[in-house]
A and B are shown apart, each in its own frame.
Chain A
């Protein structure tokens, strides 16, 4: 019985992320084509997808490899782009009870997309999280392989407009989270801040800074109201995904 529950939650998490495949596949293909163009071997291209598993960081690393940048430069850029995951872990770690053995696995596969789907879903459990995470991991790696093998005949994602899928997905995840006037204020202020920051800073950094700034703003605006400390709130409004 317990095993069937675990399996059910994993499968639900896996499918909860499936609407995002449409955005992942062209992005993965584009990454692989870029990596191949930069002179990386198939093994190297695939290893980045399997072990780093962070799209924007992989794409910028490949560009840096091509321009002959120093290794330390590539690693620091990766850190800059990926340090935002710290916030996701902090947020999820409070909501989902994880054992010491589950934690590294949940961390290794954590992405914007799986955090998004799980943070917006009503269901909070390790199998559900892992299902969502591996759903993205499988697609990302398959798209990498296909992109490398098929090569340059793949159209540019921006040209066919599929780069719009991720913003739409995160907007759809955001909408049900905004229920109070303060939450709306924080959402609008964060959007404006990120818009401004993205004009001068690289990929992941505006997300990190906005994540911190917007959340500080929200915590400040809600001062005086007691915090909800329940670990697994039966929150009826969180129904999307």
Chain B
């Protein structure tokens, strides 16, 4: 029973966070419109940077794979190509020679 009570709380705070932003419909001042323009840029950067370190002291390999994937993304503009290229490089460099 306790589990379902906790689950309800988790659903409430998660859905609340997800809904609040979408529901807010006000005419924002210029500063906040420009703020929102940078949200995806700042968020994506924060999802990438910490993950490049990893927990297995292989940050050099991760950064190299990411750099090559970034070039692939820039050249092809295809999400799957960037992931495939990055993972191929990552797995290749991981093989101990």
Main secondary structure of the interface of B (DSSP, over half): helix
Q: Report the contact-size class of chain B (Cβ under 8 Å from the partner).
A: 35 or more
Query: Which residues of A from 110 to 128 have beta carbons under 8 Å from B?
Result: 110, 112, 115-117, 119-120
Main secondary structure of the interface of A (DSSP, over half): helix
Q: Is the CB of B83 within 8 A of A169?
A: yes
Query: Which residues of chain A have C-beta atoms less than 8 A from B52's C-beta?
Result: 167
Q: Is the CB of B41 within 8 A of A218?
A: yes
Q: Is the CB of A161 within 8 A of B42?
A: no
**Given contacts A186-B38, A240-B73, A191 and B22 within 8 Å (CB-CB):** no
Q: Is the CB of B34 within 8 A of A219?
A: yes
Q: Which of A86, A87, A171 has the most CB of B within 10 A?
A: A171
Query: Which residues of B from 1 to 54 have beta carbons under 8 Å from A?
Result: 2-3, 5-7, 9-15, 17-25, 28, 30-54
Q: Is the CB of A169 within 8 A of B79?
A: yes
Q: Mark A66-95, 1 if CB is under 8 A from B, else 0.
A: 000001101100110011111111111110
Q: Does A175 contact B (CB under 8 A)?
A: yes
Q: Which of A57, A166, A190, A217 has the most CB of B within 10 A?
A: A190
Q: Report the contact-size class of chain A (Cβ under 8 Å from the partner).
A: 35 or more
Pick the residue among A71, A72, A165, A177 that contacts B40 (CB under 8 A). A177
Q: Which stretch (A3-11, A137-145, A206-214) binds chain B?
A: A206-214
Q: Does B57 contact A (CB under 8 A)?
A: no
Q: Is the CB of A174 within 8 A of B48?
A: yes
Pick the residue among A169, A207, A216 that contacts B46 (CB under 8 A). A207
Q: List chain A positions with a Cβ less than 8 A from chain B.
A: 16, 18-20, 22, 40, 44, 47-48, 51-54, 57, 61, 65, 71-72, 74-75, 78-79, 82-94, 98, 103-104, 106-108, 110, 112, 115-117, 119-120, 158, 161, 163-178, 183, 186-188, 190-195, 197-198, 206-207, 210-219, 222-223, 225-229, 239-241
Q: List chain B positions with a Cβ less than 8 A from chain A.
A: 2-3, 5-7, 9-15, 17-25, 28, 30-56, 62, 65-66, 69-70, 72-74, 77-80, 82-83, 86-87, 90-91, 94
